[in-house]
């Protein structure tokens, strides 16, 4: 992987961090205990994905992102406040997370298409985790209808 892939990796890392935090927030607020467990598992899977992305980038001499977009001083900051104050039903949380996870999956697939061959090979190895998290939320979203 070349350092030219650093922006691609960091975009994935930031979006994954934001989604992980959103999963953690949802897990604290949902009422259904089984849903809480699934959300905690998804947050843990995202944490492993983030760590792998960060380690891959660092191994190539890059500087991996350590925070999501919501932790920056830019206009994303109000989003953090908004998420912390949200009181959503379990179904609303599921739909919100399903949309965010679909967006992460779409971004991951776009990066796989644009990344240099070596980076695409490394990212392809991680794509199973992204798909697993997406399938969990997609199944929950269908059941919540």
Dist. CA 127–CA 18, nearest whole Å: 18
The predicted model scores a pTM of 0.84
pLDDT at 53: 94
Residue by residue, pLDDT tens for the chain (145 residues) are: 556 678 989 999 999 999 999 999 999 999 999 999 999 999 999 999 999 999 999 988 899 999 887 654 444 444 444 555 667 899 999 999 999 999 999 999 999 898 888 888 888 888 888 888 888 888 887 877 6
Radius of gyration of the chain (CA): 15
Q: Where are the domains of the chain?
A: 3-144
Which CATH architecture group holds 3-144?
Answer: Up-down Bundle (1.20)
> How many other C-beta atoms lie within 10 A of the C-beta of residue 80?
17
Q: Identify the pLDDT of residue 41.
A: 94
CA dihedral 48→52→53→59, nearest 10 degrees, is 160
């Amino acid at each position: 992987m070349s350092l030219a892939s650093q922006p691609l990796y960091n975009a994935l890392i930031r979006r994954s961090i934001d989604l992980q935090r959103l999963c953690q927030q949802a897990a604290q607020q949902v009422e259904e205990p089984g849903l809480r467990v699934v959300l905690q598992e998804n947050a843990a899977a995202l944490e492993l994905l983030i760590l792998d992305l960060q380690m891959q980038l660092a191994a190539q001499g890059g500087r991996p992102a350590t925070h999501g977009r919501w932790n920056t001083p830019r206009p994303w900051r109000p989003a953090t406040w908004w998420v912390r104050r949200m009181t959503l039903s379990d179904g609303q949380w599921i739909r919100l997370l399903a949309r965010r996870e679909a967006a992460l999956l779409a971004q991951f697939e776009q990066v796989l298409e644009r990344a240099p061959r070596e980076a695409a090979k490394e990212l392809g190895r991680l794509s199973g985790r992204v798909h697993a998290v997406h399938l969990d939320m997609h199944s929950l979203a269908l059941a919540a209808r």
